[in-house]
A = this chain, B = another copy of it.
Amino acid sequence: MDNQMIIASTLDELRAARLLLDGRVGLVPTMGYLHEGHLSLARRARAECDRVVATIFVNPTQFGANEDLSKYPRNLKGDLSLLESTGVDLVWTPDNETIYPPGFSTWVEVEGLTKPLEGAARPGHFRGVTTVVAKLFNAVQPQVAYFGQKDAQQAAVIRKMARDLNFPIKIAVCPTVREADGLAMSSRNSYLSAEERQSATVLFRALTAAKDAFERGEQNAEALRKIMSNTLASEPRAQIQYVSCADYDTLEELGMVTGKALLSMAVFMGKTRLIDNFVIG
């Protein structure tokens, strides 16, 4: 690193610091409590771009009324240290009033793609996501923005928003990073008790079982969904919210898998909601 990492909190501070960044800028938007998944995005940005900007903002508008906003885990000091060691140039850590000042009333909404899966389970979630991401795009003005495949529908929705609204930004989607036993990394894994953490591998096992069946020739989407839900049912701590075998582009549930498809699920492990997915075909 040739420079120290700059930390901006107000929009003016961010804009002033951004003006000093030349060349291709990569953006890594996060809600903090960083893990290897986030750091893999930052490292890829570091490798592909001249400058890397990360943001840390727990976005209230993407949480539902009954969701875990107030207890969402935070560790700003640890996050900044991880980002600095990854070679990030600038971190924006806005507060709620910076992002949503009094009287804020403009929303960005993607229709269609946001209806099923996470959109059905979490009404309003994606409106919050697309609105804050549009704001981050305009505030940071990156050439590339990095998102994780772990949030598969979010990545699809943001790709669609960027294309529909002509954002001059490339959306890069990076592979899910997993623990040694297959559990997808997530800030929410910190909520799990030791027993729940053990049981949580069932998501990976369910996805693997369905993928194996597909690779052995099973193209019936309902059969693949059944394999996932049967595997999940074998774990008493797991409560299924949805399992899905959907078209990769439209996210509509499939009858037969004839092209690229998304196997995905949302599962409550105790009070903790976990999601995961595989791409097949």
Contact = CB atoms under 8 A, between A and B. Distances in A.
Interface of A: 11, 15, 103-113, 130-131, 134-135, 138-139, 141, 160-161, 164-168
Given A105-B113, A134-B165, 20 more contacts: A103-B112, A104-B164, A105-B110, A105-B111, A105-B112, A105-B164, A106-B109, A106-B110, A106-B130, A106-B161, A106-B165, A107-B108, A107-B111, A108-B108, A108-B134, A108-B165, A131-B165, A135-B165, A138-B165, A138-B167
Contacts of A11: 166
Copies of this chain present in the complex amount to 2
B111 A166 contact: no
Contacts of A107: 108-109, 111
Nearest to A111: B105
A104 B113 CA distance: 11
A113 B139 CA distance: 23
Shortest Cβ-Cβ A-B pairs, 9 listed:
A106-B164, A138-B166, A105-B111, A139-B166, A105-B112, A135-B166, A106-B110, A106-B161, A138-B167
Nearest to A98: B166
A110 B108 CA distance: 9
Nearest to A250: B103
A155 to B, nearest CB: 15
A112 B108 CA distance: 15
A11 B162 CA distance: 14
Contacts of A134: 108, 165
Q: Which of A107, A110, A130, A167 has the largest count of B CB atoms less than 10 A from its CB? A: A107
Contacts of A139: 166, 168
Contacts of A108: 106-109, 134, 165
A107 B161 CA distance: 9
A134 B141 CA distance: 14
Q: Which of A11, A160, A165 has the largest count of B CB atoms less than 10 A from its CB? A: A165
Contacts of A130: 106
A10 to B, nearest CB: 12
Contacts of A109: 106-109
Contacts of A104: 164
Contacts of A168: 15, 138-139, 141
Contacts of A106: 108-111, 130, 160-161, 164-165
A161 B164 CA distance: 17
28 contacts: A11-B166, A15-B168, A103-B112, A105-B110, A105-B111, A105-B112, A105-B160, A105-B164, A106-B108, A106-B110, A106-B130, A106-B160, A106-B165, A107-B108, A107-B109, A108-B109, A108-B134, A109-B109, A131-B165, A134-B165, A135-B165, A135-B166, A138-B165, A138-B167, A138-B168, A139-B166, A139-B168, A141-B168
